[in-house]
Structure 1
């Protein structure tokens, strides 16, 4: 058994790697910069966790997903692997202690948000660390061609220059060929090195249902497909409405969205993961970092605004390799809403500048100040104060973030944290002299480790339950211990954050470069068009259409999606049908032909050819012109 399999077995309990994992690990071990393109559920995290465990030093993991960051840190700690995280919203003291522990304290994994990479503090400290691997999750965020470009990812190239001998592993679940090339270029790969798993999911059946009554369709589908399911909806209100609909119809369900208290989300996620709740109805906040292999069904009540997002969310079904379904419920309203989302996502430039100006006034920032400052941001209050539309503000902030003026972190939920700053012998004397605090101090020390070396997340609800008191009493006592100099206490906080990455500018000097606004808007329009094509086309295999979008142009019909099922109604196999259809398309591409000319040109039996032609006419792929000739209608069929 080699060291990688030994580590895999010892810490994760697996005997073998999944496809592609071992290839990526060997590439990294050879010191080669590597891009791993692995669809959702492919086990990306093990490709950096295993090789990092096999070498001396620390692994830096860059990710923009704070929820995923905290989840992975918790999972590593459960395996007795020391890990920590740094992201916006932490106090400077917390960050200092965490970084010092990375230098001296044996920390094996440091998860860090991309905006923290550019700080002087981090760049000074990282030079003192023995970094054995730089892992970049969600690597598509570095590409201006990607669907979720983040300027802070460009800071990674600076870190590369500080760590010239450290190999880099970039990972993403979704990237077109253009984006994959751009990732390697921007991360300063010494040579191109891509490991790609096919986007094809043989066990996942893609289905689009035309549905004006989506509620009834949802009930029909869930009653037909047994097992665990995720239902994705567009907004928080809908999570509650649809979960109540399911419960009223005798189906075990619960709602989930980013605005819920952390303990509520954790509880619901655990109930669903353990199978005590069958259906979770959620916004796209649900799913990142969640590895439940036996999900049999993912339903999208509303279409996402990109096929990348759809592929990732749909791909949470069937990770165990068994048959599963990904269903998109589509109506004419989806078409209208998606087209309208273009103007919503890209407000007029004067509105974006107005948001930036108002933001500076809201924080009482003078022009030329604010660089590096982080502010709690009350979005509803801001919109009310300046009479602005919430979606206009939200999307303007995203564009200003892409332009490099600020970072906008949505609804960050930070657990309460405690760090003991008194020495153990002095703490004992304090406990003897202050009996009122003794029980709480003992409970903290019994419940959590590392309290003397770092800030440790605590659960105030759990502490209150164990002490037979209420949460407020725990809070008040922790505040008092803080004032007495025994601990440093950071209360739980839930708020969006605004971080200024440059000093406040006079708004007339704010520029939105072509690649940030105009180019991005055009790319967004193309992505919207691709989603509409997916939702409205009824003559191209769903799997084939998705694979084509991701650059896999040579693929067969899946044989299971709704389009392939309609082909089977001709009493031809999907293979037969696909072959004849392709022959017809090839012939009609060059010129229109009569039916008789086609029969002569093609060698297929006439009855089979007739069935395929009738099907293609029914689904408006071909039409008979005034001269009685058949010609192609749909460009996609080419």
Structure 2
């Protein structure tokens, strides 16, 4: 059977050979064995269940926690001409009914869904009728109470085993301590589970951690001497923009990526980076999931992530081709104090969650007992401004509501359109009859929503774009045109979040159900932050050794490459001047500004460099490197 798997690997994925452990894992699944696979980021976890899902008759059900991951994997499979479908938020009951029927009768190979979907009676009823060949649990660490990304709904996945007790289960993850591994096996009731675990050691990644008073200069210096594709991780959208501008001013090609950008801009920037048109992607952790770029030479952290697990996953996006790469962490004491302060300020208490949940429900006009499976777009900044909320605290609360399956939260820039008709549908169609694009859009709106005057309609621009075979941008332009012609009254609001209520609104009782677990998770999150701080601030122990020990992997040797094994040597002022001059000639004032150094100090070192013939003075009184 493995020969057939190898054939699929070649014809569908374009690879001649399996990566380490993939063949053994796939063989285990094809033999019908429950399997737990722990592979590093970029180790090809999805292939381990996708190939059996293609090879075996029937449909593979994949449980995944993130909408973005579901969409990405479904899109990738479709591009490979594999029949796959994902159930995400915002789908109507009729659409859900149709999707599930297609999975029973339409020869689909894959059905992706979130764990929350398994609680719906319709889903359970239809899954029971499906010819399921495999149950795959992606990001399986979410099952464990000891994991860094625990989602209680994951512990209900056992429903699938009850519906199809003879179907094998494969659980995959990149980060799981021994306690998390044991929890996964227990909760999923894996029978005689075969566990495949690759080493957490990444010998080609050299971990460098630098404590510096000037992080901006350290970042510029790093990219001046380190070529190759790179990701710089930051914690806020503002920092993503600021550090991108810093690098661009230093003549380093860079772009920024965060959840508040439109899909079009994010896609365009990501593609430029994938094609090596820009060297550095400065991004929040919204970037990286589903990205498989083998030639990333470095990953830089400018602020502390949430946990050692997050740090390990993010650094693992470097060096997937096996070539030497760098994981560079730039910090100072203020970052550590800020991380603790941020944790305290953003720690979601039960009382604060109740407050946010009530305000969110009121803002979205959801009545008590209603709202289930309703999807809403939200301008987060406007929501916070309306109730004078602290943005960091409010966003942390929304994430907690998502984690505990009260809502499903997805980032993504959109425009929300409220429309009321001032003229009849006939009059509007007449206006657009010589405008093919506008006519198609108007026809789609009228078919979808009708044309009742004096009723305010919430227009789903993505839906209208699909039904009119146009783009969202063209839909918005058409609505604006009709508004300008006074044919409709249109209010177009920029939104950056999509929220789906997973349960009917029940205010305090909704939060009370998990308040005790919330406190336990807050304590666990604090301990994980402390573990990360200990990793960052320890200057004597091999960083690679500390990472391995965190994941319960023993080692008897140091890596010899990290900053603790081979300390970063402080750069002299002369070295810093030479680095500043690498891209272009500068005068002494420009050099002082670039280095944030006193003029007398810079001039003294410039004099020495001139005497040593390492730099030359141009006719425009600028200094340049003597090549």
1:389 aligns with 2:384: no
Q: CA deviation at 1:14?
A: 1.2
Q: CA deviation at 1:312?
A: 0.5
Q: CA deviation at 1:377?
A: 3.8
In structure 2, the partner of 1:159 is: 160
Q: Which residues in structure 2 correspond to 1:251-400 (within 5 Å)?
A: 251-400=252-401
Residues 414-461 of structure 1 deviation map (CA, whole Å, 9 limit, x = unaligned)? 899xxxxxxxxxxxxxxxxx99769998xxxxxxxxxxxxx9997899
1:197 aligns with 2:198: yes
Taking a change above 3 Å as real, the CA distance of residues 53 and 534 of structure 1, as seen in their structure-2 partners, is same
**Separation in structure 2 between the aligned mates of residue 240 and residue 462 of structure 1, nearest angstrom:** 34
Residues 468-505 of structure 1 deviation map (CA, whole Å, 9 limit, x = unaligned)? x955567899xxxxxxxxxxxxx999653444444333
8 A Cα contact 1:318 1:324, kept in partner: yes
8 A Cα contact 1:346 1:521, kept in partner: yes
Residues 376-400 of structure 1 deviation map (CA, whole Å, 9 limit, x = unaligned)? 3443333233332222222223334
8 A Cα contact 1:464 1:474, kept in partner: no
**Separation in structure 2 between the aligned mates of residue 370 and residue 461 of structure 1, nearest angstrom:** 29
In structure 1, the partner of 2:410 is: 410
In structure 1, the partner of 2:602 is: none
**Separation in structure 1 between the aligned mates of residue 84 and residue 509 of structure 2, nearest angstrom:** 44
SS of alignment partner, residue 111 of structure 2? strand
**Separation in structure 2 between the aligned mates of residue 121 and residue 377 of structure 1, nearest angstrom:** 28
**Separation in structure 2 between the aligned mates of residue 495 and residue 151 of structure 1, nearest angstrom:** 26
In structure 2, the partner of 1:147 is: 148
In structure 2, the partner of 1:444 is: none
8 A Cα contact 2:294 2:320, kept in partner: yes
SS of alignment partner, residue 328 of structure 2? strand
1:48 aligns with 2:49: yes
**Separation in structure 2 between the aligned mates of residue 460 and residue 130 of structure 1, nearest angstrom:** 32
8 A Cα contact 2:230 2:298, kept in partner: yes
In structure 1, the partner of 2:521 is: 520
**Separation in structure 2 between the aligned mates of residue 359 and residue 473 of structure 1, nearest angstrom:** 30
1:104 aligns with 2:105: yes
8 A Cα contact 1:114 1:152, kept in partner: yes
Q: CA deviation at 1:287?
A: 0.8
Q: CA deviation at 1:370?
A: 3.8
Residues 516-547 of structure 1 deviation map (CA, whole Å, 9 limit, x = unaligned)? 22221221111111111111110000100111
8 A Cα contact 2:87 2:113, kept in partner: yes
Residues 592-634 of structure 1 deviation map (CA, whole Å, 9 limit, x = unaligned)? xxxxxxxxxxxxxxxxxxxxxxxxxxxxxxxxxxxxxxxxxxx
In structure 1, the partner of 2:90 is: 89
Q: CA deviation at 1:24?
A: 0.9
8 A Cα contact 1:461 1:470, kept in partner: no
**Separation in structure 2 between the aligned mates of residue 377 and residue 121 of structure 1, nearest angstrom:** 28
Residues 42-85 of structure 1 deviation map (CA, whole Å, 9 limit, x = unaligned)? 01111011111111111111112222222222221221111111
Q: CA deviation at 1:464?
A: 6.7
8 A Cα contact 2:437 2:470, kept in partner: no
Q: TM-score of the superposition, structure 2-length normalised?
A: 0.77
Taking a change above 3 Å as real, the CA distance of residues 372 and 205 of structure 1, as seen in their structure-2 partners, is same
Residues 542-582 of structure 1 deviation map (CA, whole Å, 9 limit, x = unaligned)? 1001111111133421110011114999xxxxxxxxxxxxx
SS of alignment partner, residue 206 of structure 1? strand
8 A Cα contact 1:141 1:153, kept in partner: yes
Residues 81-105 of structure 1 deviation map (CA, whole Å, 9 limit, x = unaligned)? 1111111122333323322221222
In structure 1, the partner of 2:532 is: 531
8 A Cα contact 1:58 1:132, kept in partner: yes
Taking a change above 3 Å as real, the CA distance of residues 348 and 12 of structure 1, as seen in their structure-2 partners, is closer
Moved more, 168-177 or 97-106: 97-106
**Separation in structure 1 between the aligned mates of residue 181 and residue 247 of structure 2, nearest angstrom:** 41
In structure 2, the partner of 1:559 is: 560
Q: TM-score of the superposition, structure 1-length normalised?
A: 0.76
Taking a change above 3 Å as real, the CA distance of residues 280 and 87 of structure 1, as seen in their structure-2 partners, is same
Q: Which residues in structure 2 correspond to 1:216-235 (within 5 Å)?
A: 216-235=217-236
SS of alignment partner, residue 297 of structure 1? strand
In structure 1, the partner of 2:512 is: 511
**Separation in structure 1 between the aligned mates of residue 79 and residue 391 of structure 2, nearest angstrom:** 40
Unaligned 5+ segments in structure 2 are: 417-432, 441-461, 482-491, 571-627
Residues 234-254 of structure 1 deviation map (CA, whole Å, 9 limit, x = unaligned)? 111111111111111111111
In structure 2, the partner of 1:246 is: 247
Moved more, 148-157 or 245-254: 148-157
Q: CA deviation at 1:283?
A: 0.6
8 A Cα contact 2:153 2:404, kept in partner: no
8 A Cα contact 1:317 1:326, kept in partner: yes
SS of alignment partner, residue 229 of structure 1? strand
SS of alignment partner, residue 127 of structure 1? helix
Q: How many residue pairs get matched?
A: 523
C-alpha RMSD of matched pairs (Å): 3.2
8 A Cα contact 2:379 2:495, kept in partner: no
**Separation in structure 1 between the aligned mates of residue 241 and residue 469 of structure 2, nearest angstrom:** 27
Q: Which residues in structure 2 correspond to 1:447-526 (within 5 Å)?
A: 463=470, 472=476, 495-507=496-508, 510-511=511-512, 513=514, 516-526=517-527
Taking a change above 3 Å as real, the CA distance of residues 261 and 497 of structure 1, as seen in their structure-2 partners, is closer
In structure 1, the partner of 2:73 is: 72
Taking a change above 3 Å as real, the CA distance of residues 335 and 495 of structure 1, as seen in their structure-2 partners, is closer
**Separation in structure 2 between the aligned mates of residue 122 and residue 205 of structure 1, nearest angstrom:** 47
SS of alignment partner, residue 2 of structure 1? helix
Q: CA deviation at 1:359?
A: 3.2
Taking a change above 3 Å as real, the CA distance of residues 198 and 415 of structure 1, as seen in their structure-2 partners, is farther
In structure 1, the partner of 2:607 is: none
SS of alignment partner, residue 157 of structure 2? helix
**Separation in structure 1 between the aligned mates of residue 255 and residue 83 of structure 2, nearest angstrom:** 34
**Separation in structure 2 between the aligned mates of residue 74 and residue 457 of structure 1, nearest angstrom:** 20
**Separation in structure 2 between the aligned mates of residue 53 and residue 178 of structure 1, nearest angstrom:** 32
Unaligned 5+ segments in structure 1 are: 417-433, 442-454, 478-490, 570-638
Q: Which residues in structure 2 correspond to 1:602-621 (within 5 Å)?
A: none
**Separation in structure 2 between the aligned mates of residue 231 and residue 515 of structure 1, nearest angstrom:** 37
Q: CA deviation at 1:118?
A: 1.7
In structure 1, the partner of 2:138 is: 137
Q: Which residues in structure 2 correspond to 1:559-638 (within 5 Å)?
A: 559-566=560-567
In structure 2, the partner of 1:236 is: 237
